[in-house]
């Protein structure tokens, strides 16, 4: 038996040399021999790197035991190798094969992965754990940890301003969450991320994340995504996702979300249907019951709403929204005494209920109780300044009381907290009531357009709708916001604004049609409050003449205004209405800088002179456009004779008189009139050239021209007409903080007029100031929103100390700064067809913007610059579309030191 073992062992030892299936044993020495010994000695173990020759592994195991076979195999080796093998040498230690580590257990792997502090390394380790142990009981915990780490890193990126980095981390977390997502991970982390991105300013990333989340979500998780869309007021997407959820399972919650989404899309009747379906599924669902009550209020069914509110309060007497809704529904149903009793009880428990206060104030304004409306609205604004409907209710009360300018100030303050078409309509209403028709038309054009007799608007800036009248569109926003079916607006104002929109649309058409413009102007002049008829007639006439169309129609309107001029003083604010045209540029510049011009009360005698002078000037202008200069000069001489000397109106009429004299062939008289107007108004390159040409014609040379009107304006102002904006006397607005102008102002020559609250500066006069008589007080009454209020300029201008004062008249241009920051009052203009919109460019410093250039991305966009007199760091541009073809364009405003851009959407 021993012999057999000794024989078999060498045989088994030789076999690996041919089969290469056994690796050397670590730690054993190998011995090379020339002849295998069948007994006692072990065959050499082959090197791990040796490669057997083809066919050697095919030998039978039995043959390997014969010495001849072994010798033969060795003989097949190359000679060099055979010599090397025949010479004994120290046996090389083979490469040791690492001893396999003991397999790590799941618990050990989990401890190791969760002990890593570095977020990136930890994420990598947890992912490996999940790959190694896919069926681990800790799988959900591992995914939760993986998602939470990446969400934490994303949050940190978001706080540091790296929004794209945050999107990447959130998307990676969503991928790791897998499908289906564990509910606790979805609820605690992933459902919140889209909103986090959106409100951090990363809107595109938020929408992309929401879409990706929806793709991985279960039907039960869809409502959370729909709620995100509700939060960002995207009713269309919220409806779509809610309907997907309903298709999977008809639940009360899903129909409730659908009702809210339809409300966001201004569908009150359909939202009521969805809330009713929700209650049908679950009659105890309080949220649906509240939604249905609000919908019933908005569609004019207050009694049904009262029943629903009382049902909620039966089970929960402390429910504030239900209590608020009940009070307002009682007001809507005409039960004022009961409503006020309930309101007092509710306010005793919750004094800061701004929704209740604002809703009640709006109802008071709509019912004509303006004093009560103002008092209640001021409480609402004090309780919550950010609730815009409190401001709107206050403004409506002020308009009803005959204070439209103050109403405008209140509404502009509200726009700091939000902006939507109904608010812009309210601003336009206040401006129209004050007589600021050009301002009102521009405000309307940002929202509304008229096509084929229909008024169009994007409600909530999202949902395109049309209606027969503007107020029908505004009502849809009001009903969706405060659920009030009754408007505080009046029919006369609504008609005025509709006709104003039509008139301005016709005026701004690419190819103005004189007949259509004349008809639209006539409709506008006759629409609305009769107390403002004179002001509408003069505005319509001036706009026609500015566009050089329908002078006959303009003259007809002027004659009507002249016949009823005394009624002009029946306006709510005669000073604002009569001076509106001259105040336009100053108001535009002030509002672009978040400032507001207070208009002092002007004596009636002064206003009468201005009104008479304007009527005569417009009549003369009409006659000039009709080719009747002799008659025109007669009317213009009357205008010059009655207007306050050297006032803005006097300068305008005097200039037109000079042009009429020239048309008559009275060159000497023309030169005198033009020079008088120019000297009063200050440097103007375009007008200087007009006088220069006429002087050359009359005198035969330019000798004495400088003595007559001064030197030619600086070349920097000559390069473009827009440079004149910075070279004219100041008409600076009062600042928000109430700072007095820092230049030493030179007042108007007469003590009976203030052309506008800002006083003017004369470059060629003494710096001493004469007092100006006004009826204004020195200090403004501060309202509920002081950041927009500005004090009326003092009647006695304040002399400032010499020093770094804000210049009101541009001297020689200084070197521009190396860098500057430019911004605009609007980052996006929504431009309706054939309508002009204004944009103001602002510099962060008071620098000359004469070199400011505006470039457009497409030839379809036309942009022109208009004068803002004497204010540094501001430039006013008017933008319009040449073709009216829908599209998205950009306008770039640039100086050597900086630039800014706006987007222009043509609809």
Q: What would the pLDDT profile of 60-106 be if each residue is shown by its tens digit? A: 434 434 444 444 444 444 444 444 454 555 555 666 565 666 678 99
In a domain, 454, yes or no: no
Cα–Cα distance for residue pair 866/25, rounded to 1 Å: 96
Question: Is 0.75 surpassed by the pTM of this model?
Answer: no
Query: Which are the contacts of 628, defined by CB distance < 8 A and separation ≥ 6?
Result: none
Sheet of 837-843: strands edge to edge? 822-824, 837-843, 874-881, 861-866
Largest CA distance in the chain: 150
Domain boundary among 52, 86, 120: 86
* CA 641 from centre of chain: 49
Closest listed residue to residue 605, CA positions, set 752, 439, 435: 752
Mapped onto helix, strand or coil, the DSSP state of residue 464 is: strand
Cα–Cα distance for residue pair 455/498, rounded to 1 Å: 9
| Half-sphere exposure of residue 79: CA atoms within 13 angstroms, side-chain side | 0
Closest listed residue to residue 419, CA positions, set 447, 393, 378, 384: 447
Query: Which are the contacts of 315, defined by CB distance < 8 A and separation ≥ 6?
Result: 286
In a domain, 674, yes or no: no
CATH number at residue 881: 2.60.40.10
Domain boundary among 71, 86, 101: 86
In a domain, 447, yes or no: no
In a domain, 866, yes or no: yes
* CA 903 from centre of chain: 11
In a domain, 729, yes or no: no
User: What is the count of structural domains for the chain?
Assistant: 3
Q: Are 713 and 685 in contact (CB under 8 A)?
A: yes
Q: What is the DSSP letter of 554?
A: H
Q: Which segments of the chain have a pLDDT < 70?
A: 1-102, 714-818, 832-835, 846, 867-872
How high does pLDDT run on average in the chain?
81
Q: Are 832 and 449 in contact (CB under 8 A)?
A: yes
Confidence at residue 879, expressed as pLDDT on a 0 to 100 scale: 87
Q: pLDDT tens digits, residue range 362-388?
A: 999 999 999 999 999 999 999 999 999
* Locus of tokens 């303009």: 554
In a domain, 233, yes or no: no
Closest listed residue to residue 358, CA positions, set 345, 330, 377, 342: 377
Closest listed residue to residue 684, CA positions, set 661, 662, 652: 652
Cα–Cα distance for residue pair 388/25, rounded to 1 Å: 86
Q: What is the DSSP letter of 190?
A: I
Q: What is the DSSP letter of 721?
A: G
In a domain, 339, yes or no: yes
Q: Cα angle at 903 between 827 and 205, to 5 degrees? A: 80
Q: Are 606 and 753 in contact (CB under 8 A)?
A: yes
Q: Are 763 and 682 in contact (CB under 8 A)?
A: yes
Cα–Cα distance for residue pair 749/765, rounded to 1 Å: 11
In the chain, % of residues over pLDDT 90: 63
Confidence at residue 790, expressed as pLDDT on a 0 to 100 scale: 38
Domain boundary among 34, 61, 86: 86
Query: Which are the contacts of 634, defined by CB distance < 8 A and separation ≥ 6?
Result: 620
- Backbone CA torsion sign across 178, 180, 185, 191: positive
In a domain, 150, yes or no: no
Domain that holds residue 325: 312-350
Cα–Cα distance for residue pair 42/37, rounded to 1 Å: 8
């Amino acid at each position: 038996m021993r012999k057999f073992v000794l024989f078999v062992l060498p045989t088994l030892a030789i076999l690996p040399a041919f089969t290469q299936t056994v690796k050397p044993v670590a730690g054993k020495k190998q011995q090379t021999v020339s002849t295998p010994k069948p007994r006692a000695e072990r065959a050499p173990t082959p090197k791990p790197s040796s490669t057997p020759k083809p066919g050697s592994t095919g030998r039978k195991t039995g043959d390997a035991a014969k010495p001849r076979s072994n010798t033969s195999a060795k003989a097949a080796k190359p000679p060099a190798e055979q010599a090397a093998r025949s010479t004994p040498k120290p046996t090389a230690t083979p490469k040791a094969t690492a001893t396999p580590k003991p397999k790590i257990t799941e618990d050990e792997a989990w401890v190791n992965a969760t002990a890593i502090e570095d977020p990136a390394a930890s994420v990598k380790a947890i992912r490996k754990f999940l790959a190694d142990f896919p069926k681990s009981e800790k799988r959900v915990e591992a995914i939760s940890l993986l998602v939470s780490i990446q969400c934490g890193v994303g949050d940190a990126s978001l706080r540091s301003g790296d929004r794209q980095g945050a999107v990447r981390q959130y998307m990676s977390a969503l991928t790791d969450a897998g499908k289906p997502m564990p509910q606790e991970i979805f609820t605690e982390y992933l459902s919140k991320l889209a909103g986090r991105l959106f409100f951090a300013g990363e809107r595109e990333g938020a929408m992309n994340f929401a879409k990706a989340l929806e793709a991985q979500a279960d039907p039960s998780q869809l409502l959370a995504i729909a709620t995100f869309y509700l939060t960002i007021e995207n009713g269309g997407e919220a409806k779509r996702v809610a309907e997907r959820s309903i298709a999977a399972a008809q639940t009360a919650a899903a129909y409730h979300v659908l009702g809210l989404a339809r409300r966001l899309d201004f569908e009150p009747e359909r939202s009521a249907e969805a809330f009713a379906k929700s209650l049908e599924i679950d009659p105890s669902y309080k949220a649906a019951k509240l939604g249905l009550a609000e919908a019933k209020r908005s569609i004019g069914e207050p009694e049904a709403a009262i029943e629903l509110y009382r049902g909620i309060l039966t089970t929960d007497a402390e429910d504030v929204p239900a209590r608020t809704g009940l009070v307002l529904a009682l007001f809507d149903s005409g039960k004022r005494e009961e409503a006020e009793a309930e309101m007092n009880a509710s306010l005793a428990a919750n004094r800061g209920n701004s929704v209740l206060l604002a809703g009640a104030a709006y109802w008071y304004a709509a019912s004509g109780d303006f004093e009560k409306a103002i008092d209640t609205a001021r409480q609402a604004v004090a309780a919550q300044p950010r609730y815009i409907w409190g401001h709107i209710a206050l403004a409506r009360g002020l308009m009803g009381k005959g204070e439209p300018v103050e109403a405008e100030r209140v509404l502009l303050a509200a726009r700091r907290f939000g902006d939507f078409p109904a608010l812009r309509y309210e601003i336009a209403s206040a401006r129209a009531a004050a007589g600021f028709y050009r301002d009102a038309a521009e405000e309307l054009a940002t929202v509304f357009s008229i096509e084929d007799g229909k008024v169009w608007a994007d409600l909530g800036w999202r949902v395109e709708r049309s209606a027969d009248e503007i107020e029908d569109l505004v009502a849809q926003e009001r009903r969706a916001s405060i659920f009030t079916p009754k408007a505080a607006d009046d029919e006369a104002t609504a008609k005025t604004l509709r006709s104003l929109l039509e008139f301005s649309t016709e005026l701004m058409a690419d190819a103005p049609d004189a007949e259509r413009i004349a008809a639209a102007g006539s409709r506008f002049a006759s629409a609305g409050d009769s107390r403002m008829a004179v002001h509408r007639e003069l505005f319509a006439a001036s706009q026609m003449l500015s566009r050089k169309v329908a002078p006959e129609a303009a003259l007809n309107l002027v004659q009507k205004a002249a016949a009823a001029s005394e009624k002009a003083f029946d306006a709510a604010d005669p000073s604002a209405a009569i001076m509106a045209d001259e105040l336009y540029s100053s108001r535009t510049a002030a509002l672009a800088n978040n400032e507001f011009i207070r208009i002092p009360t002007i004596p009636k005698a002064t206003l009468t002179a201005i009104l008479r002078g304007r009527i005569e000037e417009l009549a003369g202008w009409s006659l000039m456009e009709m080719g009747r200069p002799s008659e025109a000069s007669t009317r213009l001489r009357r205008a010059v004779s009655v207007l306050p000397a050297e006032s803005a109106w006097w300068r305008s009429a005097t200039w037109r008189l000079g042009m009429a004299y020239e048309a008559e062939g009275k060159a000497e008289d023309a030169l005198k009139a033009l020079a008088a107007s120019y000297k009063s108004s200050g440097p103007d390159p375009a007008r200087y050239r007009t006088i220069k040409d006429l002087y050359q014609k009359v005198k035969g040379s330019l000798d004495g021209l400088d003595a007559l009107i001064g030197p030619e304006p600086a070349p920097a102002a000559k390069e473009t007409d827009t440079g004149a904006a910075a070279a004219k006397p100041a008409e600076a607005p009062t600042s928000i903080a109430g700072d007095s102008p820092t230049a030493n102002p030179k007042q108007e020559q007469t003590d009976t007029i203030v052309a506008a609250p800002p006083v003017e500066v004369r470059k060629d006069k003494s710096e001493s100031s004469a007092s100006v008589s006004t009826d204004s007080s020195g200090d403004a009454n501060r309202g509920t929103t002081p950041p927009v209020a500005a004090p009326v300029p003092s009647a006695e201008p304040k002399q400032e100390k010499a020093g770094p004062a804000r210049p009101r008249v541009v001297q020689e241009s200084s070197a521009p700064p190396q860098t500057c920051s430019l911004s605009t009052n609007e980052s996006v203009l929504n431009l309706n067809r054939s309508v002009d919109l204004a944009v103001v460019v602002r510099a962060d410093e008071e620098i000359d913007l004469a070199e400011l250039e505006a470039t457009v991305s497409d030839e379809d966009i036309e942009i022109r610059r208009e004068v803002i007199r004497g204010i540094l760091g501001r430039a006013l541009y008017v933008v319009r579309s040449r073709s009216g073809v829908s599209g998205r364009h950009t306008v770039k405003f640039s100086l050597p030191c900086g630039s800014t851009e706006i987007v222009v959407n043509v609809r």
